[in-house]
């Protein structure tokens, strides 16, 4: 990356990914069932080596990967991202035995991972989680509920964050790797606006032991935050991919749609709207790349930059998709239209992995910390 321009090799790789997402992955996605894990799609991502890249790429290339897949097939992008989110704690904090048991299957698309942090009363305020890990000999019993968990209840294993009591707030939380077949673990699917699987999990005395801990007891909140810092810029990249797809569709439509003795693009109101959309997309894209570069360089500014990237990109994508629908008119509201699909997809990223309001809070805290320093 030179300045803010991608190297030619990266541009070519992104082009190949966009073609792959359209030609191979989208047909598999269309055969899937909304709200269910699409295992053939995951297998294809594994065969193409893309799941491996989630774990071996730097933050910038992860962003390019997610942006390019989102442009052509949002379902493929989401399936890939959820594998990374659910399994990254195993990669970063797991034992050699945990990595050897679970990560090969994730990389190949055979095993489905899930990140189980949110609860009915602990969404944006993740430190308020109440899932209890009660001591039971050398291990623990998990009791409580997780909710709005992507890939639940169909995942093969869950990264679960529970309160072990070493301290209050963000202290005293431990990360566990919990296989889906543990006794006492049940789940149900939730019907949500987003088409990918989301569910609730109930823990009724689920047994876990020292061998299931990811990292150290009482240090699980750091595992969660490290994972979110890693993936927040690439959530922005997902949003940028959707925004670019909506913008390109709008350019093609307004350039060819006859209206008022010319085409829509001849109308100043339309042309100015499209110019605004394009400018916002480019600004969001550059901020995402800057945040990814900060992560790859080990910058202390990662929390602020990641929050800025996620905030601007997701809010921009909502703006662009909404105006794209408006400029297309009624055709964009038909089931199966690209923009109808994007309109449903684009709303959730402003909430998950930290809502926009949380990102603003992070940004402000980081700014004032710098002033105090």
* Catalytic entry in 67, 315, 353, 366: 353
Helix 338-345 with 220-256: angle, nearest 10 deg: 150
Strands 213-214 and 173-179: antiparallel
Q: Which DSSP string corresponds to 224-237?
A: HHHHHHHHHHHHHH
Is residue 180 classed as helix, strand or coil in its secondary structure?
coil
Q: Bridge partners of 203? A: 144, 185
Task: DSSP for 10-52, please give it.
Answer: HHHHHHHHHHHIIIIIHHHHHHS-TTS--HHHHHHHHHTTHHH
Coil, strand, or helix at residue 156? coil
As a whole number of angstroms, the distance between CA 234 and CA 69 comes to: 12
Q: Using the 8-state DSSP alphabet, how is residue 183 labeled?
A: T
Minimal CA–CA distance to 322: which of 348, 350, 342? 342
48 part of the active site: no
Residues designated catalytic = 353
């Amino acid at each position: 990356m030179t300045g803010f321009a991608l190297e030619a090799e990266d541009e070519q790789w992104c082009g190949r990914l966009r073609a792959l997402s359209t030609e191979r992955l989208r047909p598999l996605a269309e055969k899937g069932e909304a709200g269910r894990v699409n295992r053939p799609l995951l297998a294809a991502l594994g065969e193409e080596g893309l799941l491996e890249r989630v774990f071996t790429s730097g933050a910038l290339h992860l962003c390019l990967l997610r942006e390019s897949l989102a442009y052509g097939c949002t379902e493929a992008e989401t399936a890939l991202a959820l594998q990374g989110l659910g399994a990254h704690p195993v990669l970063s904090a797991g034992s050699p035995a945990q990595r050897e048991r679970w990560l090969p299957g994730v990389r190949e698309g055979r095993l489905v991972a899930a990140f189980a942090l949110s609860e009915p009363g602990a969404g944006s305020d993740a430190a308020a989680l109440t899932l209890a890990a009660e001591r039971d000999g050398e291990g623990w019993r998990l009791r409580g509920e997780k909710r709005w968990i992507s890939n639940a209840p169909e995942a093969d294993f869950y990264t679960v964050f529970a309160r072990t009591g070493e301290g209050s707030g963000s202290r005293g939380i431990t990360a566990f790797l919990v296989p889906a077949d543990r006794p006492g673990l049940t789940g149900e699917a939730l019907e949500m606006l987003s088409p990918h699987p989301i569910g609730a999990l109930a823990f009724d005395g689920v047994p876990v032991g020292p061998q299931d801990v990811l990292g150290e007891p009482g240090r699980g909140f750091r595992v969660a935050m490290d994972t979110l810092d890693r993936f927040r810029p690439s959530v922005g990249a997902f949003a940028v991919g959707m925004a670019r797809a909506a913008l390109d569709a709008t350019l093609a439509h307004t350039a060819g749609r006859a209206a008022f003795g010319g085409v829509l693009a001849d109308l100043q109101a339309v042309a100015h709207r499209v110019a605004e959309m394009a400018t916002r997309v480019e600004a969001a894209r550059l901020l995402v790349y800057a945040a990814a570069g900060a992560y790859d360089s080990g910058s202390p500014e990662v929390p602020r930059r990641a929050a800025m990237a996620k905030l601007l990109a997701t809010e921009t994508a909502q703006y662009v998709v909404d105006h794209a629908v408006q400029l297309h008119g009624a055709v964009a509201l038909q089931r199966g239209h690209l923009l109808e699909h994007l309109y449903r997809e684009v709303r959730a990223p402003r909430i998950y992995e930290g809502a926009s309001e949380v990102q603003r809070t992070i940004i402000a805290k980081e700014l004032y910390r710098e002033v105090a320093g």
